[in-house]
Structure 1
């Protein structure tokens, strides 16, 4: 039996993952997470102490000021690391990064830096760490204009709006159900993989 906590549990990917884990209650116990834990140090510490596995999904991906995105995402990682350090907790941490790591934007750079910080924490504390580099995710309950370009295009087409392509490039996609299966697969691997290229492994 593994105790699994998901930061960003209420988000698009987090909801799918949380609900899927519930299908195997004899194997997984879900440790509830609320976004407010990042503003309440005691609650965050209590959360990490209960977990054998933490999947860090919580992140900001849109804001008018790109620097706010970077600072917020790095701060979330640092808060998680601090809670782990303060409680001497060494769960297997899985981090949701993005193929935008290699792009020149603050979201991608925050993901790359966050993955590096957690990798260093794991090495220092002899803990397991898996950094998943994830392409664009689509599937049920994706929010248009927020977390899924596919949802945005579908919304525009069904509302007789004209879809607009801001950057004409190849778009790599993964269905949310397949991504959840990858997370569950890595949960069961008692090892570290600093860069798990989800796109390549599908």
Structure 2
């Protein structure tokens, strides 16, 4: 188990790196802020004794000159800190870009930054990353996927002005590659790409969004289908939940349709829960999970990994409603009534005890620094 330091730990990629480390049970990494990097002696003190430093900090948007200067400056500051460090890391892992050296200000700056880090004398793992997408990306900044998902979640319709092919990699796969861990079911450090045109991407996301507006599950036939759907759902949460389900009643009793899935695997199970008992206290990296209370009353609580705010939904069998657990959010269900609680659970995959994609995490926040996105 390596001791890691991370620059850019509050950004999109940095947050996903830290979530994966949390799932793996590794120690919380040392996070170097931009203020730390600006002071070479402070940076050296923060770097001392760690095994590796992951250089994720960068400038992706802005005026071309600012983007170019910012990426080179951040690498130079890290290099300066390493040179002042008496006990430096044995390796620098650099989140570079496939655009490095392509003649643009951004691409040439990323290539220059790699050369700066290589000159430190510390072993450099120069990782060329393609376009990344995933949960909680910033629209109009991190990726086109985030922008399209936000527009669709808000009821809009993305427009494509110039179609071209994209090579997309899910950010958890990139995190696994940077950390240096073998494949684990929920991640793949080989970073399998999705090759897709912009218009085809919009069409696929639009079908997902349209299907999901009534709570129906779109066709999830591939790993990228699941991850695109989870990315879309991250832009729906929490505003779209709970989603009330229609009930049909006659002299025989009542009927509630809890899951309509359009394709792919799935598993359904029901549980009873005694008054005051809690289920959950974990999170998932890729699994889609649905809760529907059919009898009794309960509170569903959720907290994004690293955040401190807890969101709570009161649900009951008297008015059945679905709440789908967003990936990378710790969640639990508590029976708040005086009687037995009956809950239906659905997941998009058959349970595999060897790869359960269930990571223990209390919903009530611990007293630790938040893993904020976009800092």
On whether the aligned pair clears a TM of 0.5, the verdict is yes
* Structure 2: distance between partners of 1:151 and 1:68: 23
* Alpha-carbon contact 1:73-1:110 (below 8 Å) kept: yes
What is residue 11 of structure 1 aligned with on the other side? 11
Assess, with a 3 A threshold, how the Cα gap between structure 1 residues 166 and 114 changes in structure 2: closer, same or farther: farther
Q: Considering only CA atoms, is the larger Rg found in Structure 1 or Structure 2?
A: 2
Report the Cα offset of residue 70 of structure 1.
0.5
Aligned match of 2:54: 55
**Residues in 2 aligned to 1:175 and 1:169: alpha-carbon distance in whole angstroms:** 19
> When the two structures are aligned, how many residues end up with a matched partner?
186
Query: Which residue matches 2:32?
Result: 33
Give, in whole Å, the separation in 1 of the partners of 2:116 and 2:38: 20
| Offset of residue 105 of structure 1 | 2.1
Higher helix share: 1
Do the aligned partners of residues 143 and 157 (structure 1) sit closer, same or farther apart at CA in structure 2, a change above 3 Å counting? same
Q: Report the counterpart of residue 175 of structure 2 in structure 1.
A: 180
Cα deviation for residue 18 of structure 1 reads: 1.2
SS at 1:150 equivalent: helix
Following superposition, the deviation at residue 78 of structure 1 comes to 0.6
Shift of 1:29: 5.3
Q: Which runs of 5+ in 2 are unaligned?
A: 183-189, 194-375
Note closer, same or farther for the CA distance 1:93–1:51 as it changes in structure 2 (3 Å cut).
same
Tell me how large the CA RMSD over aligned residues is: 2.4
Take 2:118 and 2:40, find their aligned partners in 1: how far apart are those partners?
A: 22
Does residue 1:82 correspond to 2:80, yes or no? yes
How far does residue 42 in structure 1 lie from its aligned partner after superposition?
3.1
Normalised by the length of structure 2, the TM-score is 0.46
State the distance in 1 between where 2:161 and 2:71 align. 24
Higher relative contact order (CA 8 A, sep 6+): 1
CA separation of 1:198 and 1:102: change in aligned 2, threshold 3 A: farther
- CA–CA distance in 2 between the matches of 1:58 and 1:178? 18
Q: Tell me the equivalent position of 1:142.
A: 137
Contact 1:132 1:198 in 2 (8 A): no
Stretches of structure 1 that go unaligned for 5 or more consecutive residues are 188-196
Deviation at 1:186, TM superposition (A): 6.4
Q: Distance in 1 between matches of 2:123 and 2:28?
A: 19
Superposition deviation, residue 167 in structure 1: 4.3
In 2, distance between residues paired with 1:56 and 1:166? 34
1:108 aligns to 2:107 (yes or no): yes
With 50-59 and 159-168 compared, the bigger mean Cα shift is at 159-168
Contact 2:40/2:84, CA 8 A, preserved across alignment: no
Identify the structure with the greater strand proportion: 2
Distance in structure 2 (CA, Å) of the matches to 1:164 and 1:118: 40
Contact 1:135–1:198, Cα closer than 8 Å, also in 2? no
Q: Which string of whole-angstrom CA distances, capped at 9 and with x for unpartnered residues, describes residues 8-37 of structure 1? A: 001111011112112334x55522333321
The answer to whether the 8 A contact 1:60-1:69 is kept is: yes
